Structure 1
Amino acid sequence: MRKFAIAATVAAFSFTTAPAFAESYNLTVAGASPGGLWSLLGAGLDAAVKEAYPGSTVTYQTSGGGLANVAVLQRRDADMGIVHDAELQVAKQGGEPFNAPVEDLRVLSYLYTWAPMQPVINADFAAKHGIETFADLAAKEVPVRVAINKRGNIASAVALAMLEAIGAGPDEIEAWGGDVIYAASGEQATLMQDRRVDMTLNSIFVRHRSIMQQADAIDLQLLPISAETQAAVNDRTGTSDFVIPGGSYDWAPEDAATVTLGAALVVRADMDEQTAYNLTKALFENHGKIAGVHKAMNALTPEIMAAQKVVPYHDGALRYLSEAGLM
């Protein structure tokens, strides 16, 4: 009996002190086209979750981009989606293509906040018309030919909001003898190089190759926007203030205020709270795995990851952020 009691005690101790098996996750994240920054972010998310939960997999799923990813989440065709903050604003307000406000979106993390709208103008054209700021386009009723992103792209919607905020919407520009042209980033560079447009207005990283290509062909100028325009556009679209530092380009020595698009990792509100907590903890505590996917991501910090304001963070994410002192 004594031997049995000792054996039972040892067995009970072994059971209570044996390490629990670590959880692992098999998740999908909806991004955009293959090969772009978002696909790299998918790889970074996978690496961060694997670091915390070995054996996990986050599979990148191509899609039509942020607005499409909201619908993907609603259909439960992916566990997570990358969505621009301005697209979250559209969904929250029930704007096109949504028939009603989308209320069940929650954020685990901001992924970046630095894709500023860059009003880049041909310097000779600016000198000819006395243009020094973005607002001068409307104040002087300039016949500008401006290229913005393709219809349906959120950067195009933000560009129109910026133009309309200063009283230079497409109708006004056409009345002044100019035009608004819809073209992708690469096309915009070609149009500018060929002098078929006078200005481009797009959401891209500072020193993006499309702007550098333009600068190789013609002299450029960067137009700052006013605080009033920033506030109006941010309120309408969900963007945030941004300053392009002076000297970012050889031809732009002064700071230039503008607005910026960011992107967030979004889930449905009904994601299990502990799962959301675990994923958020994994991403924040291994954010270097995400920051390391591209030099454009070097600025990522936990403070930035916790700074999204358009839709709520998931309850599980909030629990982690509170524990980490980030809320």
Structure 2
Amino acid sequence: MRLLTLAAAIGLAFGVNTAQAEPVNLTLSGGNPGGLWSLLGAGIDRAVKQSDPNSVVTYQATGGGFANIGLLGANRTDTGLVHNAEVKIALAGEEPFKAPVNNMRAIGYMYNWAPMHFFLAKSIADEYNIDSLDDLATAKAPVRIGVNRSGNITSNVALFMLEQAGLTTEAVEANGGRIVQAGANDQAELLKDGRIDIVTNGVFVLHSSFRAIDENNEVIVLDIPQNVIDATNARFGTQTYTIPGGSYSNQPNDVETSALGALLVATDQMEEETAYDLTKALIANVDEIKAVHGSMKALTPELMADQDVLPFHPGAERAYREAGLLK
């Protein structure tokens, strides 16, 4: 009996000393089914499974970043993908939010390379000698400007950048032009049909929609004044990005602009150990996320930790510090 008791005590002590972390079991609110964010959801799930086969991240399709912030704010999802610009709007309690959303905590960046593009019909550029966004205001060209639908963050950013360059809606209309709100694919069709002169959007360089615009139309990529970039980055938490020269047919030189990024976000209700285990798994198995799409090849643990839009969740911060990614 004494030997059995001693063995049990040793076994208990051994179990305590070698206890394994609990499996991660979380929901992740993303975007449309089949889109990049759904692929990221699958990659994140594979990453946590590499660290613990019993872990699971269940992806749920939503209307995108603004919807995900609403779910996070109401503690109706564990994690969500959100754009940095959407976070800034939510923290300020601006439309579409009725009050500041303050319970969000960052797990890490997933990407920060979705630059704002402004494609202008080359015929208009040649006629009015336009090569920069601010030229549109001084040239007083009657341009019809396509921006994304209301509720899509690139619409907010494009309108702000236009205003910073002197092109308020009133100024555009005074010049004989107008603002046309349409989705990215619709903008491409409107440009092709000659119903708009400018396409704006913020996705990856050489995204399929951008390639279609470049291949089916004679367009230039407008330069963005530095003051517009600086104001946009301050307003939306975006970052300066260079579209390499030669990316598009009539773009011989580099174009600097502001780029949107996407973060994986939790709430302050998530247990510290859960956030720690999640982040540690993403750091260790980042290749699982990179593999979901060619546009994700630049993702690194260093990038994941390189954000200041939101406070890190304490568990995520601990994981990054242990990995030497935060000081």
TM-score (norm. length: structure 1): 0.95
Match of 1:17 in 2: 14
Q: Deviations over 1:294-319 (max 9, x none)?
A: 00111101111111211111111111
Match of 1:272 in 2: 271
Contact 1:29 1:58 in 2 (8 A): yes
Q: List aligned pairs for 1:20-99, cutoff 5 A.
A: 20-99=19-98
Match of 1:262 in 2: 261
Alpha-carbon distance in 2 for matches of 1:67, 1:7: 59
Segments of 5+ residues of structure 1 without an aligned counterpart are: none
Match of 2:313 in 1: 314
Which deviates more from structure 2 when the two are superposed, residues 66-75 or residues 160-169?
A: 66-75
3-state SS in 1 of match to 2:34: coil
Q: Deviations over 1:24-47 (max 9, x none)?
A: 122111111111001001101101
Which deviates more from structure 2 when the two are superposed, residues 155-164 or residues 15-24?
A: 15-24
Cα offset, 1:67, TM superposition: 0.8
Contact 2:26 2:58 in 1 (8 A): yes
Segments of 5+ residues of structure 2 without an aligned counterpart are: none
Alpha-carbon distance in 1 for matches of 2:194, 2:258: 26
Q: Which amino acid aligns with 2:14?
A: T
Q: List aligned pairs for 1:122-271, cutoff 5 A.
A: 122-271=121-270
Cα offset, 1:270, TM superposition: 2.2
Alpha-carbon distance in 1 for matches of 2:26, 2:115: 30
Alpha-carbon distance in 2 for matches of 1:186, 1:65: 17
Alpha-carbon distance in 2 for matches of 1:65, 1:129: 38
Alpha-carbon distance in 1 for matches of 2:232, 2:314: 29
Alpha-carbon distance in 2 for matches of 1:281, 1:179: 49
Match of 2:289 in 1: 290
Cα offset, 1:205, TM superposition: 1.0
Q: Which amino acid aligns with 1:16?
A: A
Contact 2:24 2:277 in 1 (8 A): no
3-state SS in 1 of match to 2:133: coil
Cα offset, 1:11, TM superposition: 4.4
Cα offset, 1:249, TM superposition: 2.2
Q: Which amino acid aligns with 2:147?
A: I
Alpha-carbon distance in 2 for matches of 1:76, 1:132: 46
Identity of aligned residues (%): 45
* Structure 1 residue runs of 4 or more that deviate by more than 4 Å after TM superposition: 4-11
Q: Deviations over 1:129-185 (max 9, x none)?
A: 100111111122221111110011110000000000011011110110111110101
Alpha-carbon distance in 2 for matches of 1:7, 1:238: 62
- Alpha-carbon RMSD across the aligned residues, in angstroms, is 1.5
Alpha-carbon distance in 2 for matches of 1:189, 1:210: 7
Alpha-carbon distance in 2 for matches of 1:137, 1:266: 38
Q: Which amino acid aligns with 2:319?
A: Y
Alpha-carbon distance in 2 for matches of 1:261, 1:71: 20
Between Structure 1 and Structure 2, how many residues are aligned? Answer: 324
Alpha-carbon distance in 1 for matches of 2:91, 2:239: 17
Alpha-carbon distance in 2 for matches of 1:33, 1:218: 28
Alpha-carbon distance in 2 for matches of 1:325, 1:249: 39
- 1:291–1:88 CA distance, 2 compared to 1 (3 A): same
Q: Which amino acid aligns with 1:154?
A: I
Cα offset, 1:17, TM superposition: 3.1
Alpha-carbon distance in 1 for matches of 2:81, 2:249: 33
TM-score (norm. length: structure 2): 0.95
